Structures are given as structure tokens and as C-alpha cells.
Amino acid sequence: MKNKLLITSALVSGLVAFGAQADETKITGDYKLSYKMASGVGAAAGEQGFGRETQINVSKSGELNNGLAYSTGFSFESDGGDTAGASGATNVVMSGEGVWLGVTSGDTTIMLAQDKAPNMDTDAVPRVGEVASTGASTQATKYSRDAGSIYGSFGVAVSQKVAGGALTLNYVPQVGDTGSNNNDAASDQTGKGGYEILYKGSLGVEGLTVYAGMNERDLRQTIGDGTERSSQTNSAYGASYNFGQFAVGFGITNEEGSLISSEQKLTEVGATFAASDNVSVGIGYAETKDEGTTASTNKEEVTYAQVGYNLGGVKLQASYYDIQNGGWTAGNDYDVLLLRAGAAF
């Protein structure tokens, strides 16, 4: 099957209430099937089982009648046994996925978006398999790569191409507003405003990837009074370099504020090697420290090894994670094996 499916404008005119354009609509997607085994001496050890994730993306781009370029679309995702539920229910298959409408003039793009604008749920550490927050999420509970990003809330983003990459400013009026209501409703959210600024690009150097960003978000502790506030300020930066078959990189995330129990710092390093056109291997290490204490359990450590095999239409992954002091708890030590098979269309 081709990597993308094109729908002609004749069909689109029957799907879009705003009228037909000559532009084409693209539908892409992917699925992942997994098997996970975890063991150890911690309280949550001894689990195993199958998992699945499927996603469909619909997008459209072209030129407006005023000459500006535009891009718009949305995604559907189903994790495990997610089903379509009532509006606002947490099991709606679109919950947590994004929509966007962007307009571009030259090197500047303005987007109204949830989840789709460039954001701090990113890094530069090279990997062959899944990050620890996916592969060992219930064991490495302090690992946090996204730096408290506000990307899951609706907002306005302005992105400017610069220095071989993009500088993006993202503002959301209410943190936590994911658009769970229907299109003629509004509700009072627990969140106040939040913003995020991020650069990610090559700085004009081939093989180099650099990113740096910071964000701030506020929440009300009591809905309606607007007086009690909790806040969080986060920063993240890192870089990687591709040497051809080899790639190495690092990332550092700092999170602090009253929205989290303590100030924490994540430091991660990784390296990959492409043994052939089809086989790649990788190793990495991540430690998340509680900066507010010197206790012996203030450091959660994750060491991982990964291998990937590309069969063409299907890709296979195997990831092993060794977790020490999971959740900053002495004795919460685990071994996790995650096997995945997936394909894109």
C-alpha cells in the first residue's frame, strides 16, 4: 500500500461543509502492537501482557484565495481498549490527540492548535525504540521528558523559521483546555494561562540537532475563586550529532514549582549505530534527581538497550530497561522488556 492515500477534491466537497478547493486531502496512519514483561522486587513488579496503539491522521494544505498558504487537519488515536464515548469522556478515541489550522506567510506560520504545534515534548537523544516514559511508564515514574509541556491544551502558536530550524512561541489561555466540549459550549477550566518558547533546528550545521526551550503554566486550586494558584516553570535543552552510521546526543530537563512535589532534573544520554540498512542498535542512560534532598533514594536511574529491524512494510523493535529506585523509592528495582511490531500507511 502507498504511504499516503489521496482523496480528490470531488470527494472532499462531500465531507467539508465549507466548500471544495482544488487541494488534495491526505490520510496517513500507523499502528503498533506490543508485548511487555516487567519483573523486580518493587510493589508493581511481575506484570506482562499485550498492548496496541492505532492512529489515523487527516490533513489538507494548499493556498487561500488571498495567496497565503494554509495547512489544517486532525488525528484520531486509540490506545488499547479505548472506545468512542460521550462528549468530554476520557475514553473518546480523539482524546489527547490534536487538531490544527495554520496560515503561513513566507517563513512565519500562525497556528490555532492542540498538540500539533512544535512543543517541548521533544528531545535530541537518538534512540532505536521507545522512550522510558512509554516503554517503562509504570516503573520509571519520575522520568519526564516533556518538561510539563502545554502542548495538549488549545492555544495559538507563532513559528518563525530561523538558523536552520524554527523558533516557536505557544500561548494557551487556559491550561488543561483540551476542547472536550462540543463546538457551541464552553466550561470553566482549572487552568490559567500558560506559554512556551522553543527553538529546534540544526543551526545550519549538517548532522547537528539542537533544541532549547522553557515554559510556565498556572492552575487554580479552587475553580471559581481565582485566588489560590499553583504554578510550574520548566526548561529543557540538548543536542545530538549524526556521524553517518553513528549518532550521539544528550538532553537535560528541569522542572520546578508548586505543581510538582519537588524540584527535579532529568539528564539523559544516548547513542545509536546503524549496523546495516535494516538493523540498528542503541544504548542510553537517564537519571532523574530530586534536587530538594540529598537522600540516598533521590535518584531514579534507567539504563536501556534497544535493537530495531526494518522489514520494509513492517518494523520490529526490542527494548530492555533496567530501572533502579523507581519513583525515588529504595528497592523499587525492575527489569522491563518491550517488544513491538508496527507499520505505517
CATH, residue 284:
2.40.160.10
What does the mean pLDDT of the chain come to? 83
Give the Cα separation of 91 and 93 in Å (integer): 6
pLDDT (0 to 100) of residue 331: 83
Question: Is pLDDT at 295 greater than 90 in this prediction?
Answer: no
**What are the beta bridge partners of residue 304?**
284, 321
Q: Which three cell numbers stand for residue 344?
A: 505505517
State what percent of residues in the chain have pLDDT above 90.
Answer: 53
Could you tell me the pLDDT band of residue 192, with boundaries at 50, 70 and 90?
A: confident
pLDDT (0 to 100) of residue 232: 81
- What pTM was computed for the model? 0.83
Question: Is pLDDT at 311 greater than 60 in this prediction?
Answer: yes
DSSP for 189-257 reads -SEEEEEEEEEEE-TT-TTEEEEEEEEEEEEESSTTT---EEEEEEEEEEEEEE-SSEEEEEEEEEEEE
Can you give the residue range of the structural domain that contains 109? 5-344
What is the residue whose three cell numbers read 492555544?
155
The amino acid present at 56, given as its one-letter code, is I
73-77, 265-269, 332-336: which is most confident: 265-269
Could you tell me the pLDDT band of residue 84, with boundaries at 50, 70 and 90?
A: low
Q: Which three cell numbers stand for residue 230?
A: 499553583
Give the Cα separation of 265 and 147 in Å (integer): 10
Q: Report in angstroms the alpha-carbon separations of 206 from 210, 235, 239.
A: 11, 25, 13
Total number of domains constituting the chain: 1
Question: Is pLDDT at 8 greater than 60 in this prediction?
Answer: no
Question: Is pLDDT at 88 greater than 80 in this prediction?
Answer: no
Greater model confidence, 220 or 157? 157
